[in-house]
Amino acid sequence: MKQKTILVTGGAGYIGSHTCKALATAGYLPVAYDNLAHGSERAVQWGPLVRGELSDGDRLASVMADYRPAAVMHFAAYAYVGESVTDPGKYYRNNVMGSLTLLEAMREQAIGQLVFSSTCATYGNPLHQALNESHPQSPINPYGQSKLMVETMLGDFGRAHGLRSIALRYFNAAGADMDGTIGEDHEPETHLIPLALEAATDTGHPLTVFGADYSTPDGTCIRDYIHVQDLADAHVTALQALEAGASSTAYNLGTGKGVSVREVIDTIEQVTGKPVPHIFGQRRAGDPDRLVADAAKFQRAFGWRPVHSDLPTIIRSAWRWRNRGAG
């Protein structure tokens, strides 16, 4: 049987590239579509890379006409919460208008299935613990708004044109490929685990812990870290569900287990055997105390379980990636 092609926007990015690998492992040919603004060419190893902008509808349509993908996985987006507050236009233009351009190209080319990279940032401040998918979506920053707008468009395109889509709302993606081939390469880096690992490497940049006065047991923020390879596998599961005829819906992707910033630091010290120099700073605007998924819906639907998402495994994989080539 001919190998099915999947168009992966943002396929050179962190989660996109890990998903390309998972797609290839599952027998698909991933075609990465990326402008390389934040993605990296060397992360594209499992299929062709097409350089292009999400805003370029003609190019998207011609790539779809050339490759005839069975479905699209849509990761391409800007994802810096702080930047989205200071430069909202960039987020609405790229994340919202770019996604609209993609959906119109899909409609023109009669491609009717899409897996969308959404986020727990669409919920805004949690009203209760263990967020499930029916928690009100009330984002507190333009990044979350932009992702929610795309979810809304997916619903409307579904009703009007029969598009079937699964939106996956991630909690905190973390870690690196278990074989060490690819990993997290953000520039600038803003995420806790890579910055804490950097602090552990004598670079002279201590980690700043953003707030120790939260109403959590140790005063630092609690998040739900999910290994990027588990996320990638979940995307393949969602794709296969669409191929089997699933109707449109959204799922949380997390572990359901909350971990504090202090626990992340302690685990890094245990795993690496090195101290993580850190100072306590102000709270970062827009950080809720606790963001932990109720991830039961996806687990119930597909029997899926995260297998690499315990914190030491996440940290070991990220540490290995950070020290690649270091002998």
3-state helix, strand, coil in the chain (%, to 5): 40, 20, 40
**Binder to ligand UFG among 90, 93, 107, 191 (CB under 6 A)?**
191
Binding residues with ligand UFG: total (CB under 6 A): 21
CA angle 126, 311, 192 (to 5 degrees): 60
Query: Which residue type is seen at 109?
Result: Q
Q: Min. distance of Cβ 267 from ligand UFG in angstroms?
A: 13
How many residues in the chain? Answer: 327
Per CB under 6 A, which of residues 261..280 are in contact with ligand UFG? 261
For position 203 contacting ligand UFG by CB under 6 A, the verdict is: no
Site string for ligand UFG, 157-176 (x = CB under 6 A): ---------------x----
When CB distances to ligand UFG are compared, the closest residue is 221
Bridge partners of residue 119, in order along the sequence: 170
Is the Cβ of residue 78 or residue 157 nearer to ligand UFG in the bound state?
A: 78
Segment interacting with ligand UFG (CB under 6 A) among 40-48, 208-216, 265-273, 299-307: 208-216
Per CB under 6 A, which of residues 291..310 are in contact with ligand UFG? 291
Is the Cβ of residue 102 or residue 195 nearer to ligand UFG in the bound state?
A: 195
Give the C-alpha separation, 257 to 293, whole Å: 8
Per CB under 6 A, which of residues 14..73 are in contact with ligand UFG? none
Per CB under 6 A, which of residues 218..237 are in contact with ligand UFG? 221, 223
Q: Min. distance of Cβ 81 from ligand UFG in angstroms?
A: 5
Q: How many CB atoms lie within 10 A of CB 284?
A: 14
Segment interacting with ligand UFG (CB under 6 A) among 5-13, 159-167, 226-234, 283-291: 283-291
Give the C-alpha separation, 239 to 22, whole Å: 12
Give the C-alpha separation, 109 to 69, whole Å: 10
H helices of the chain, in order, are 14-25, 57-67, 81-86, 88-91, 98-108, 142-161, 192-199, 228-243, 261-272, 296-302, 311-322
60 φ/ψ angles, rounded to the nearest 5 degrees: -60, -45
Count CA within 13 A, CB hemisphere, residue 7: 32
**Binder to ligand UFG among 201, 287, 297, 302 (CB under 6 A)?**
287
Is the Cβ of residue 73 or residue 106 nearer to ligand UFG in the bound state?
A: 73
Per CB under 6 A, which of residues 107..126 are in contact with ligand UFG? 119-121
Give the three-class secondary structure for 307: coil
Q: How many CB atoms lie within 10 A of CB 127?
A: 10
For position 190 contacting ligand UFG by CB under 6 A, the verdict is: yes
Segment interacting with ligand UFG (CB under 6 A) among 35-43, 89-97, 161-169, 202-210: 202-210
Query: Which residue type is seen at 176?
Result: A
Residues 6+ apart with CB under 8 A from 158: 164, 165, 248
Catalytic positions are: 143
The tokens 């990296």 sit on which residue?
Answer: 40
Give the C-alpha separation, 39 to 257, whole Å: 29
Give the C-alpha separation, 193 to 207, whole Å: 10
Is the Cβ of residue 67 or residue 91 nearer to ligand UFG in the bound state?
A: 91
Is the Cβ of residue 53 or residue 263 nearer to ligand UFG in the bound state?
A: 263
**Binder to ligand UFG among 106, 192, 239, 292 (CB under 6 A)?**
192
Q: How many CB atoms lie within 10 A of CB 270?
A: 11
Is the Cβ of residue 120 or residue 241 nearer to ligand UFG in the bound state?
A: 120
- Judged by the rule CB under 6 A, the positions of this chain that interact with ligand UFG are 79, 81, 119-121, 143, 172, 190-192, 195, 207-210, 221, 223, 261, 284, 287, 291
